[in-house]
């Protein structure tokens, strides 16, 4: 049913125009095969949108996080993972940085070698192995280093583009509300990011201590949007699992767009729903039967195997990498025993044979549509470097 569109149909970021949609980067999830699949589904299901012909791009689909030091050190294994599919017309790469010099060097190489068209900076990851070394969400608690890193990236990009303003890659930053309820610093982080040249800010409206538990505080997103200059884009992240969530979040917060992370796990068609909404005003919800879900899942597996083999690795490595997606795809369906078989599979054939045992005519479990996917976990202690 057509409805009144929320305010922003398209956005300008850098020198390109986009639908106000972002695939939020997730380690091990938003690799090239998944992003390629998301764009294929937009082409398949959107009635008035062609990802390859329209001037307005379908959104910003960000690669999983890569370490600046690995890019700067030209580590081939890491660079091989940070690749883009043929249907990605705007290549977004997220950097994990803990040192300003490495950040600048990595940004220079990305820009000069045109490894990507956009750099997103990770200041939000709450995982121990990242924060204990001063990365991810730990950086919000160290404003001097945060500023130095963004400044270094901006300088590296400008130098890599020979100071040609038309070629300079846009920079964005993703961050959390703070470390915990006693250390809330997202407005300070935003101020520094804007002063150092970030054109887009994504706020995951949880603290690092919350991890992925509890409820996202959308009021913080509204405060951020009301505080930073209007020309700076603000994207909302956290508890946006459906098209309805996205519409409600933008209306409540005034955010320019939405960044979807766990909400797209096992549901890559959510970006097709959003694309259809922003191009036609239709709030159609694609609720596929299990047959269609399995077809999408097997296409995801096919793309994963092809991508992993292109890096010189085996089918077994591809299947092991893919298995984390099986649970989200089958969530809510009557598929418990088959799912267990798939999770033990070591070949594509074994997954395919298991899938043939399913009742493929099962309807989509709409009652579970608004439940979080992936690991929610409980609140966790945030590990920071000594004397941080």
Residues catalogued as catalytic: 125
**Taking Cα atoms as reference points, which of 350, 241, 339, 252 lies closest to residue 305?**
350
CA–CA distance from 354 to each of 34, 266, 288, 336 (Å)?
22, 18, 20, 11
**Taking Cα atoms as reference points, which of 347, 327, 355 lies closest to residue 267?**
327
The two tokens of residue 297 are 């899942």
Q: What does the alpha-carbon distance between residue 145 and residue 387 come to, in Å, rounded to a whole number?
A: 14
Q: Which residues of 217-255 are buried (b: 16+ CB within 10 A; e: fewer)?
A: bbebbbbbbeebeeebbbbbbbbbbbbebbbebbeebbb
The two tokens of residue 327 are 């649970």
As a whole number of Å, the end-to-end CA separation of the chain is 52
Instruction: Please answer whether residues 146 and 140 qualify as being in contact, where contact means their C-beta atoms are separated by less than 8 angstroms.
Output: yes
Q: Which residues of 328-343 are buried (b: 16+ CB within 10 A; e: fewer)?
A: bbbbbbebeebbebbe
Query: Helix axis angle, 315-322 relative to 348-355, nearest 10°?
Result: 50
Q: Residue 118 pairs with which residues in a beta bridge? A: 92
How many CB atoms neighbour CB 30 within 10 A? 23
CA 142 to chain centre: 24
DSSP string covering 28-78, please?
A: TTSSHHHHHHHHHHHHHH-TT--TTT-SSBS-EEBPPPEEHHHHHTT-HHH
- Tokens 């930073």 correspond to what residue? 228
């Amino acid at each position: 049913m057509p409805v009144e569109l929320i305010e922003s149909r398209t956005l300008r970021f850098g020198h390109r125009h986009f639908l106000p949609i972002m695939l939020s980067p997730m380690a091990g999830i938003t690799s090239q095969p998944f992003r390629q699949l998301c764009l294929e589904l937009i082409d398949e299901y959107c009635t008035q949108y062609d990802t390859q012909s329209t001037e307005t791009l379908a959104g910003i689909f960000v690669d999983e996080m890569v370490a600046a030091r690995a890019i700067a050190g030209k580590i081939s294994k890491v660079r091989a993972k940070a690749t883009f599919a043929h249907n990605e017309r705007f290549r977004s790469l997220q950097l994990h940085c803990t040192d300003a010099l490495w950040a600048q060097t990595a940004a220079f190489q990305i820009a000069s070698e045109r490894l990507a068209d956009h750099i997103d900076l990770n200041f939000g990851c709450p995982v121990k192995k990242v924060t204990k070394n001063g990365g991810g969400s730990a950086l919000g608690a160290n404003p001097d280093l945060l500023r130095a890193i963004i400044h270094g990236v901006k300088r590296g990009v400008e130098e890599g583009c020979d100071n040609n303003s038309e070629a300079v890659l846009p920079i964005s930053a993703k961050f959390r509300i703070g470390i915990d309820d006693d250390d809330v610093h997202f407005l300070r982080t935003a101020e520094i990011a804007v002063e150092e040249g970030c054109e887009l800010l994504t706020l995951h409206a949880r603290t690092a201590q919350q991890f992925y538990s509890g409820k996202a505080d959308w009021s913080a997103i509204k405060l951020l949007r009301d505080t930073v200059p209007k020309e700076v884009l603000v994207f909302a992240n956290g508890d946006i699992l459906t098209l309805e969530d996205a519409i409600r979040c933008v209306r409540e917060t005034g955010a320019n767009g939405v960044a979807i992370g766990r909400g797209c796990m096992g549901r890559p068609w959510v970006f097709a729903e959003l694309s259809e909404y922003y191009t036609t005003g239709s709030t159609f919800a694609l609720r596929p039967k299990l047959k269609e879900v399995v077809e999408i899942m097997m296409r995801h597996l096919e793309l994963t195997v092809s991508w992993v083999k292109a890096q010189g690795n085996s089918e077994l490595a591809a299947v092991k990498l893919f298995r984390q997606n099986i649970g989200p795809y089958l969530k809510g369906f009557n598929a418990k025993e088959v799912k267990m078989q798939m999770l033990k599979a070591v070949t594509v054939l074994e997954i395919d044979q298991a899938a043939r045992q399913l009742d493929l005519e099962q309807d989509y479990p709409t009652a579970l549509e608004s439940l979080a996917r992936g690991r929610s976990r409980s609140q966790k202690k945030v590990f920071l470097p000594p004397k941080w």
